[in-house]
Amino acid sequence: MDAFLTHWHTAARTSLGLFWMAFWAFGLGYLLSSIIQVFVSRERMRRSMGRADARSVGLGTVFGFLSSSCSFAALATTRSLFAKGAGLVPALAFLLASTNLVIELGIVIGVFLGWQFVVGEYVGGLLLILLMWLVVRLTQRYAPVATARERARAEEGDDGSDAVPDWRRLLVSRDGWRQVASRYVMEWHMVWKDVTIGFTVAGIIAAFVPTAFFAALFPGAGSADAGFTDLLLQTLAGPLAAFFTFIGSMGNIPLAAVLYDNGVSFAGIMAFIFSDLVVLPVLRIQARYYGWPMALYILGVFLLILVATALLLHYGFAFAGMLPQMGAAETVTGRTFFALDYTAVLNGLFLLASGVFLSWHWLRHGPPGGGGGLSEHILYALALLALLWLALGASMPLWSPDLA
C-alpha cells in the first residue's frame, strides 16, 4: 500500500510538473494563434482552392498554418472549406497543416523532447502533405468525393465567416483585442480536457508502468541499433497506441516524452505525435461529416503517410547525423520541475495575461462552456476525475506522514 501511495504522489507531482514546464508554451502558442485568427480573414483561405494543383495545395498549407488549432476545430474548418468547393487535396493539406505545422505544438515539443523533434514535426508536416497529395492522386477514384461533399454541405451552416474584417482597424482597436482575448479563452476551452487527461496519463505511466511494457509494445525499444523491422513495427505501434485514446496532440506530447524516456525510437515517437488525426474521436467526426466510406478512406491515407513520413524522417536524420541520443535527456520523473527560473517568470506573465483575457471574455460573453456530444461529456467526466487524482496525489504529504 505504501508503494502505491508513493507512486501515486510521484505520478501527480510529475503531471503537475510537466504542465508547469509547458504552461507558458501553451499560452504563447494560443496567443499567437488567436492573433492570426482574428486579424487574418478566413474568407481569403477559401479562394483559389478548388483544384489539386501546386498553387491550391500551397494555399491550403499556408492557410492551415495560419489557422493552426486543435484537431477538432481544424476538422470543422476543413469541412467548411470542402463544402464550399475546395478540392480534396487542398482541404486535406489544410487539415494536416493546421494540426502539424502548429506554433504552440512546436514550442511544447521543444520543451519536452528537444530541437530534433521540433525540426521533425515541421519537416514531417510538409512531408505528410506531399505524400498525401501523391497517395490521393493515385487512389482518388476509390474515394466517394461527390457523396462526401454533398454530406458536408448538408452539415455546413452559416457561421458568418464570409465577412472580411478590416484587420488594420481591428489591430488598433479595443474590440480587436477583445476578440483576441475571447479566441484565446476558447482555444483553452477546446483543449483543457485533453490537456488535463494527457498530462495526468503521462504522469501515471511515468510512475507506474515498467520499462518492460514499452519493450513489448514497441519492439526494439531501448536499442540504439533498431533494425528496419523494429522501426516499422514501432511506427505502427505509435498510431495504434494513440487510436483508442481521447487525447489530442497537445496532451500527447508529455506522453511522447515518457515513451522516449523508455527507449522508443525517433521514428516511433514521430509516428505517435503525427497520430492525432487517426484517433477514434476524429474518425467518428469524419464519419459524421462525410460518411463512413470517406472517413475510412481518409483514415487509410493518413495511416499510410504517417508511417512513411516517420520512417523517412528517422533515416534522413540518421544520414545527417541528427538523430537524438537515447538516454541523453533527464528522465521525466527525475526532473526538477519547480524552481525560480525563466519558466516561473514566463508562467507568471501568462497567468496574468490569461486572467485578464478570461475577465474580458466573461464580462462580454459569460463563462465559456456548453455543447458537445457524448465523447465530450465522457472527456469532461474523465478530466474531473483526473483533477481529483492530481489534487489527492499532490496533497498526499499533508495526510501521509511517510511522504512528507
Q: What DSSP line would sit under 32-48, residue for residue? A: HHHHHHHHS-THHHHTT
91 close to 81: Cβ distance less than 8 angstroms? yes
The stretch 240-267 carries a mean pLDDT of 76
Q: Which residues contact 111 (CB under 8 A, 6 or more apart)?
A: 21, 22, 25
The stretch 50-66 carries a mean pLDDT of 81
Quick one: what percent of the chain has pLDDT higher than 70?
82
Q: What nine digits make up the cell of 185? A: 479563452
DSSP state of 401: G
What pLDDT is stored for residue 123 in this prediction?
Answer: 96
Q: Is the pLDDT of residue 245 over 80?
A: no
Q: Which residues contact 378 (CB under 8 A, 6 or more apart)?
A: 246
The stretch 279-298 carries a mean pLDDT of 87
State the pLDDT confidence band at 46, using cuts at 50, 70 and 90: low
Tens of pLDDT, residues 180-219: 888 888 878 877 887 788 788 878 887 888 767 777 888 8
DSSP state of 330: P
The stretch 339-353 carries a mean pLDDT of 88
What pLDDT is stored for residue 12 in this prediction?
Answer: 92
Alpha-carbon distance of 202 to 256, in angstroms, equals 8
Task: Select the more confidently predicted residue: 240 or 25.
Answer: 240
Q: What nine digits make up the cell of 126? A: 510538409
Q: Is the pLDDT of residue 111 over 60?
A: yes
Q: Which residues contact 250 (CB under 8 A, 6 or more apart)?
A: 26, 70, 104, 105, 108, 191, 194, 195, 198
Tell which residue, 125, 129, 112, has the closest CA to residue 324. 112
Tell which residue, 92, 90, 35, 89, has the closest CA to residue 67. 35
Tens of pLDDT, residues 116-159: 999 999 999 999 999 999 999 999 999 999 999 888 888 765 44
What pLDDT is stored for residue 158 in this prediction?
Answer: 45
At position 185, the amino acid (one-letter code) is V
Q: Is the pLDDT of residue 39 over 80?
A: no
Most confident by average pLDDT, 80-89, 93-102, 184-193: 93-102
Burial class (CB in 10 A: 0-12, 13-18, 19+), 165: middle
Alpha-carbon distance of 394 to 223, in angstroms, equals 34
Q: What are the extents of the domains in the chain?
A: 2-155+171-403
What pLDDT is stored for residue 30 in this prediction?
Answer: 75
Most confident by average pLDDT, 141-155, 214-228, 331-345: 141-155
The stretch 164-189 carries a mean pLDDT of 75
What pLDDT is stored for residue 50 in this prediction?
Answer: 59
What pLDDT is stored for residue 308 in this prediction?
Answer: 97
Q: Is the pLDDT of residue 250 over 90?
A: no
How many CB atoms lie under 10 A from the CB of residue 366? Answer: 9
With b meaning 16 or more CB within 10 Å and e meaning fewer, what string describes 216-229?
A: ebbbbbbeeebeee
What pLDDT is stored for residue 259 in this prediction?
Answer: 85
State the pLDDT confidence band at 160, using cuts at 50, 70 and 90: very low
Alpha-carbon distance of 194 to 169, in angstroms, equals 35
Q: Calculate the alpha carbon distances from 291 to 135, 150, 247, 344 in Å.
A: 20, 10, 23, 47
Instruction: Give the pTM.
Output: 0.70
Alpha-carbon distance of 277 to 264, in angstroms, equals 21
What pLDDT is stored for residue 49 in this prediction?
Answer: 66
Write down the mean pLDDT value for the chain: 81
Q: Which residues contact 12 (CB under 8 A, 6 or more apart)?
A: 203, 389, 390, 392, 393, 394, 396
At position 260, the amino acid (one-letter code) is Y
Chain centroid, CA 104 distance in Å: 9
The stretch 80-107 carries a mean pLDDT of 84
386 close to 200: Cβ distance less than 8 angstroms? yes
What pLDDT is stored for residue 271 in this prediction?
Answer: 94
